[in-house]
């Protein structure tokens, strides 16, 4: 599928929202197990799922995706 083929593979592949990406990366780097999670909220198509997968990948976590 086209969207899978051209999906960003690393965080630097993403375009736009540099300030928000940096804030998410900073939060994740400081996150400790058992503390409150990060909630990504916004309209469809702005990269919420993509940033979640890329940050998890960069920090060595496996993702499990659940759709409502």
Q: How far apart are CA 54 and CA 47, in angstroms?
A: 10
- Are 56 and 14 within 8 A, CB to CB? no
33 domain residue, yes or no: yes
The two structure tokens encoding residue 40: 């990504």
Low pLDDT (below 70) residues in the chain: none
68 domain residue, yes or no: no
pTM: 0.80
Q: 16-33 pLDDT, tens per residue? A: 889 999 999 999 999 988
Q: Which domain holds residue 47?
A: 2-58
For 31, phi then psi, to 5°, come to -65, 140
- Are 28 and 55 within 8 A, CB to CB? yes
pLDDT at 68: 72
67 domain residue, yes or no: no
Domain count, the chain: 1
36 domain residue, yes or no: yes
Burial of 54 (0-12, 13-18, 19+ CB in 10 A): buried
């Amino acid at each position: 599928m086209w969207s899978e083929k051209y999906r960003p593979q690393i965080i630097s592949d993403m375009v736009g929202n540099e300030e928000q990406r940096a804030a998410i990366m900073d939060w994740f780097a400081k996150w400790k197990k058992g503390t409150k999670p990060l909630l990504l909220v916004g309209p469809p198509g702005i990269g919420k799922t993509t940033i979640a997968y890329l940050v998890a990948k960069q920090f060595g976590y496996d993702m499990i995706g659940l759709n409502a």
